[in-house]
Structure 1
Amino acid sequence: MDRRERLIYSPIPERKKLLIDNKSKLIVWVIVNIEVWDPSQPQPRNVLPPPMNIPMLPDLPNWSWHEYGMRIGFWRFVETLKSRKITPTLALNGIVVDYYPKAVEEALNLDWELMGHGFIQRPMHKVDNEYVDIKTTIEKIKNFSNKDIIGWESPGLTETLDTLDVLADNGIKYVADWVIDDQPQDLIVKNKNRMLALPYTVEMNDVVITAVQNHSSNEIFERGKAQFEQLYKESKQTTKIMSISIHPYLTGVPHRINYLNKLLDYISDHDDVVFMTGEEINNWYCKNEDILS
């Protein structure tokens, strides 16, 4: 199914007002992404170019860059979020439960939501069998956590023309791949189940801020503050969603973590702001009769 067949264009001035508890609010959705990188393969991203620009495998320095995040950076996130009583969504590769089980156990202990993020960090176009990859990912996370998995973020937000239908057939109810709006939007899938595109982000995503655009350490705070202030102003008229997507190897390092802390403290200091997981957003949106009428 073509992209344009998946959704109906909906300009925001024509929509009904979205409310939470009879008020317009700003929802803040924090997504922590954890992945498995295979050192024997080209790495998803590089911090250190190879000598003489000749790629070499295994790629130890760039693999180590990511591994630091899982050993140290992730636990900084835990402290940051736990101390502020913020419950995020954890996007994880299915194989993470084998390589980093203690990280997933900690997330479960803190009641974080788990969201599928592919089996290993690889574009959906490059998996051998998309149906098997998605089904195996969901089953592996579910078996480890004893939780139903209803959300999905494809590695690199990649989708084939069939990805949404495969996800719908495997019980997924919302995706983070369609970065198209400030509010949830319905997507059309072949089995007619309801599928939402939740407002994920590339602008407030540390991969873009740090690894792609190469901004200074304080950019997540400065950009986040500007993003928040505009959405907060607009949320006085109708509920909107601000998402913040972070990776342990990027924002979990010593010179960036305090700018994340500063941003979350700034946001929390405002009225009519609510932190929600993807599952909570999905359930609120789908159960609100005013929205559906």
Structure 2
Amino acid sequence: MKEVLDAYGYWPYENRPKITWPGGARVAFWVAPNIEYYELDPPQNPQRKPWPTPHPSVPGFSIRDYGNRVGHQRQMALLDKFGVRGSISLSVALCEHHPEIIEMCRERDWEFFSHGIYNTRYTYGMSEAQEREMIRDSIETIHRHTGQACAGYLAPALSHSERTLDLFAEVGQEMFGERAGLYTCDLFHDDQPTPIQLRSGRRFVSVPYSLEMNDTIVYAVNKVEPRHYLKMLKRHFDRLYAEGAESGTVMCIPTHNYQISCPHRIKAFEEALEYITGHSDVWVATGREIASHYLEQHYDQALADIAGRAGGTQHHADRG
């Protein structure tokens, strides 16, 4: 995807302008619960099968239904316990299917950002007009059900196109001005926020969202045991915390309520939250708060540093 790669260039981690977080924190820590809705028998996409088994996939659907019926309550109680407001990567169809979940999150002032409409309907094969309409629908649905202007985007099932970043920023700005369309979670290329170049020239940022710490990757793909996942989370935090003494870093734990919240796994997550939030110089934030702080305090300095390293000219290609 040449156009996506043109959205940012090579910018070495070492000797970047210093990032400072509120309160002098070393690490900006956020939890991104993916609260998703999967269709039992979704429409077919020629580029990707929604279920690895024949349709209807009752086991696949029902474990995700378990997440919304049981797992969400269990995870929410833990986040409440440690004072963490979730930043929800939301399949926005959930607003109609399970409005009670949306209301519980609203009561806690959690952030809602778009993860598409269903996690069984992909961006692959869409025209630009179709993808724009999907993004517009998701932003409008979030606002109608929560009152929030959607700031962030993670493509449904990570099925982004070469136009996704541009379209999300454009549609967000058209609908809600500078309150919406501020950041992406679809790039997994850094441990700090980074400026992203769009065809519109709008200010836009990538906020770190870790696939390595994502519970679905850990449990379903890499087959890691819960006690080892706890060790991974602690080691991940310890490194970012050490480096954050020089310049602020970001740690994200992306979760799924049908993974992290199973009875045999939840204790590992609880101990990780206790460990991370037990450090006083950690900013427990939301994705929007991290993006907004960076855009206001560090974005311009970052662009100047990038341009300086490129010999005084912007490193990005012209994407107009």
Are 2:32 and 2:89, in contact at CA under 8 Å, matched by a contact in 1? yes
- 1:284 maps to 293
Q: TM-score, normalised by structure 2?
A: 0.85
Unaligned runs of 5+ in 1: 47-54
- 1:267 maps to 276
| Superposition deviation, residue 24 in structure 1 | 5.2
Question: For 2:205, what is the secondary structure of its paired residue?
Answer: strand
Question: For 1:119, what is the secondary structure of its paired residue?
Answer: coil
| Superposition deviation, residue 157 in structure 1 | 2.4
- 1:235 maps to 244
Letter in 1 for 2:198: V
2:70 to 69, 72, 92: 72
| Superposition deviation, residue 117 in structure 1 | 0.4
Q: How does 1:165-204 map to 2 (within 5 A)?
A: 165-171=166-172, 172-204=181-213
Partner deviation per Cα, 1:208-238 (whole Å, 9 max, x = no partner): 0011111112233111011011111111111
Separation in 1 of the partners of 2:69 and 2:244? Answer: 38
Question: For 1:32, what is the secondary structure of its paired residue?
Answer: strand
- 1:49 maps to none
Q: % of aligned pairs identical?
A: 28
User: What's the Cα RMSD here?
Assistant: 1.8
Question: For 2:253, what is the secondary structure of its paired residue?
Answer: strand
- 1:158 maps to 159
Partner deviation per Cα, 1:95-124 (whole Å, 9 max, x = no partner): 110111111111110000001001111332
Q: How does 1:132-147 map to 2 (within 5 A)?
A: 132-147=133-148
| Superposition deviation, residue 193 in structure 1 | 1.0
Question: For 2:198, what is the secondary structure of its paired residue?
Answer: coil
Are 2:32 and 2:252, in contact at CA under 8 Å, matched by a contact in 1? yes
Are 2:34 and 2:257, in contact at CA under 8 Å, matched by a contact in 1? yes
Separation in 1 of the partners of 2:8 and 2:141? Answer: 30
Question: For 2:38, what is the secondary structure of its paired residue?
Answer: coil
Question: For 1:80, what is the secondary structure of its paired residue?
Answer: helix
Partner deviation per Cα, 1:158-184 (whole Å, 9 max, x = no partner): 311111111111121100000110111
Question: For 1:10, what is the secondary structure of its paired residue?
Answer: coil
- 1:51 maps to none
Separation in 1 of the partners of 2:15 and 2:238? Answer: 23
Are 2:154 and 2:184, in contact at CA under 8 Å, matched by a contact in 1? yes
Q: How does 1:114-125 map to 2 (within 5 A)?
A: 114-121=112-119, 122-125=121-124
Question: For 1:192, what is the secondary structure of its paired residue?
Answer: coil
Q: How does 1:75-90 map to 2 (within 5 A)?
A: 75-90=73-88
1:109 to 82, 87, 107: 107
Are 1:16 and 1:291, in contact at CA under 8 Å, matched by a contact in 2? no
Question: For 2:226, what is the secondary structure of its paired residue?
Answer: coil
Are 1:205 and 1:246, in contact at CA under 8 Å, matched by a contact in 2? yes
| Superposition deviation, residue 4 in structure 1 | 3.0
Letter in 1 for 2:289: E
Are 1:18 and 1:291, in contact at CA under 8 Å, matched by a contact in 2? no
- 1:99 maps to 97
Partner deviation per Cα, 1:38-96 (whole Å, 9 max, x = no partner): 111387566xxxxxxxx322111211011000000000111001111111201101211
Check 1:132–1:289 CA distance in 2 against 1; reply closer, same or farther (3 A cut).
closer
Are 2:28 and 2:249, in contact at CA under 8 Å, matched by a contact in 1? yes
Separation in 2 of the partners of 1:291 and 1:3? Answer: 21
Check 1:230–1:102 CA distance in 2 against 1; reply closer, same or farther (3 A cut).
same
Q: How does 1:216-227 map to 2 (within 5 A)?
A: 216-227=225-236
Question: For 2:24, what is the secondary structure of its paired residue?
Answer: coil
Partner deviation per Cα, 1:109-156 (whole Å, 9 max, x = no partner): 000000100111133215572111111011011111111111111123
- 1:9 maps to 10
Q: TM-score, normalised by structure 1?
A: 0.92
Separation in 2 of the partners of 1:158 and 1:184? Answer: 22
Partner deviation per Cα, 1:18-39 (whole Å, 9 max, x = no partner): 1124735111111000111111
Mapped pair 1:58 → 2:56 = yes
Question: For 2:266, what is the secondary structure of its paired residue?
Answer: helix
Aligned residues between the structures: 285
Check 1:283–1:84 CA distance in 2 against 1; reply closer, same or farther (3 A cut).
same
Check 1:126–1:235 CA distance in 2 against 1; reply closer, same or farther (3 A cut).
same
Check 1:74–1:22 CA distance in 2 against 1; reply closer, same or farther (3 A cut).
closer
Check 1:95–1:290 CA distance in 2 against 1; reply closer, same or farther (3 A cut).
closer
Are 2:22 and 2:283, in contact at CA under 8 Å, matched by a contact in 1? no
| Superposition deviation, residue 8 in structure 1 | 2.5
Check 1:38–1:225 CA distance in 2 against 1; reply closer, same or farther (3 A cut).
same
